[in-house]
Chain A
Amino acid sequence: MTPLLERLGHAPVTGCVLIAILTLAALTDFVAPTPQQLLGHGAAMGFLVQDGEPWRLLTYAFLHGGLIHLAFNTIFLLQLGPQIEAVLGSPRFALVYLCSAAGGGLVAVLWQDPHTLLVGASGAIFGILGAALAWNVRSGRSPLDFWNYEGPRQLVGLIVVNLALGFLFPMVSNAGHIGGLIAGFVTTHTFLLPPRDGARRVDRWIRAGWLALAASLTFYACEPFLRWDHLLTKARDASTPAEQMRWLAAIQELPAGARPPVAWPGAGIAPPAKDRRGR
């Protein structure tokens, strides 16, 4: 136990993240938390983000869906976190961790069914792997120079194997993994490490572009105007029958796989606002 505590003593952010994860696991249920417990503590779900709870894109990363899920992510975090934190420094590591968690949540919410529950630190852990990869890409003479070393090649192998495993198990959100990986890589490569060949003006536009893309996708996660549940909400809240028909027609234009999984058309929609307003 002593080496573990020693390791965490040099990695305060990893330690804090672990404490938060374990505390939330204790508050929900270590072994098998119910969906209600997880949602009550900040699990992400597409339609809840759309309903004005975007903070769930971050809080889901501190919750876990059971003992095995918790054990896997905790072990990974214990192995990788202190090493990468030592390389990047604690404030930068904290930034990478939070950005990766948010990136993973965002991509998962946009990719998955809006009613799928999303929990787990794996997106953020993939972000740590992405940060390590970015550090290796940046520290060589050329972007692919890291391939001449065994350690970074093993890192790439670890990422590929874990992504492949994610595709094999249906309950694993690989979209979250990919989102976290990209977010961790981009945050480290574009924002935290100095450019290899000197700063250029266009780099500022690239950085601003990434920020704009993140903001734009977050906006879309809150206002998913191409998703059936959002269009259905609009139809429900429509003030006139004509407007309601417009939103319902938009749902019918969606491809078969993207339409609501209920009896159609218009099941369960209240009469238009004319009656509700008493006119």
Chain B
Amino acid sequence: MTPRLAFACLLWLAALLPLVGWVLHRRDPVGVVRVAVAFEQMLAGAVGWGAVGALLLVLCWPPFLPWLRLAWRAMRSRMQVDRRPLREAFERLRHFENAHDHHVAGRVLRRLGDRRTALPHLARAVELDPAAPGPRAELGEALLDAGRAADAAAVLAPLVAREPDHAYGETLLLLVQALLRHGDAAAGLAQLEVHHARFGPVRRAAWLRAEAHGRLGDRAARVQALREAAEAPAKGTRMPPADAYVRARARVALWFTRGAP
């Protein structure tokens, strides 16, 4: 049964209930009231206990609280975005098209969460100034957000080849993500080696390595990488939300790979 068919059946059932109830109540009003009251109590109980159970389950799920921190931080940063540069960039773009203003517009729109509108501005910025690293990295990230992993890899690869240290290796990790989503796990793994050689052990890189090994079918290496990603932080240090989220996901992934070599 497809979800649409199930929904149609549910609608018809809901539509028929009052009519059936009305027919029955003419014969036995007390019985209908009893059934309706029992049904209402059962439904209220199921919904209430279901909601409590779901809430407990969600709260006990390790990635939930770090995700909440991440979401909260994203929302705060979105609300603190200064829109003036966007207005100014649009105003200047009306008279003179240039890469810088397209980049500013794309960056501010992305920070506001308007990802799809940001994409053409960033693409135009790269087109006008292909050598600038900022718009290129931003465009790669925007393409990755839009689910266009192959395009993102094509945009990010020249930047990484020219400036692997761009944004302290963040671009390198973005390229790895793009390659993994595109299905090129071996190339992703090669880029992770470069990242490891330059920046040492990084939790997010370990998580991506686990993903790459998983795609390549190397279970032992995957578990090893997951253990690295799930390592507890040093005492007294507070992880940034992104790292806490990765660690929680790695812990959950390790639960499901118990018994792996």
Using CB atoms and an 8 Å cutoff, list the residues of chain A in contact with chain B.
145, 148-150, 153, 200, 202-203, 205-206, 209-210, 212-213, 215-217, 219-220, 223, 225-226, 231, 234, 246-247, 249-250, 253-255
Contact = CB atoms under 8 A, between A and B. Distances in A.
A230 to B, nearest CB: 10
B33 to A, nearest CB: 4
Interface stretch (B18-26, B183-191, B241-249): B18-26
Contact of B11 (A153, A212, A246, A253): A212
Interface string B178-210: 000000000000000000000000000000000
Interface in B106-133: 109, 112-117
A6 B87 CA distance: 27
Contacts of B114: 148-150
Interface stretch (B2-10, B159-167, B168-176): B2-10
A249 B114 CA distance: 60
B33 A226 contact: yes
Contacts of A250: 25, 29-30, 32-33
A219 B30 contact: no
Interface of B: 2, 4-5, 7-8, 11-12, 14-19, 21-22, 25, 29-30, 32-34, 36-37, 109, 112-117, 146
A153 B146 CA distance: 17
Nearest to A254: B33
A148 B117 CA distance: 9
A210 B37 CA distance: 25
A209 B5 CA distance: 11
A130 to B, nearest CB: 17
A225 B11 contact: no
A215 B5 contact: no
Contacts of A226: 21, 25, 32-33, 36
A209 B18 contact: no
Contact of B15 (A202, A213, A234, A247): A213
Contact of B22 (A153, A206, A220, A231): A220
A164 B188 CA distance: 47
Contact of A149 (B16, B19, B21, B117): B117
A253 B18 contact: no
Contacts of A220: 18, 22
A51 to B, nearest CB: 17
Given A212-B16, A226-B21, 8 more contacts: A145-B116, A150-B112, A153-B113, A205-B5, A209-B11, A209-B15, A213-B15, A225-B22
6 contacts: A200-B4, A202-B2, A205-B8, A226-B36, A231-B29, A253-B33
A136 B222 CA distance: 41
Contacts of B19: 216, 219
Contacts of B146: 148
Contacts of A202: 2, 4-5, 8
A74 B117 CA distance: 32
B157 to A, nearest CB: 25
Contacts of A254: 33, 37
Given A148-B116, A216-B16, A206 B11 contact: yes
A250 B33 CA distance: 6
Interface centre among B11, B21, B37, B146 (most CB of A within 10 A): B11
Nearest to A234: B29
Contacts of A205: 5, 8, 12
In this complex, which of A210, A223, A253 has the most chain B Cβ atoms within 10 angstroms of its Cβ? Answer: A253
A210 B33 CA distance: 25
B12 A209 contact: yes
B225 to A, nearest CB: 31
A247 B29 contact: yes
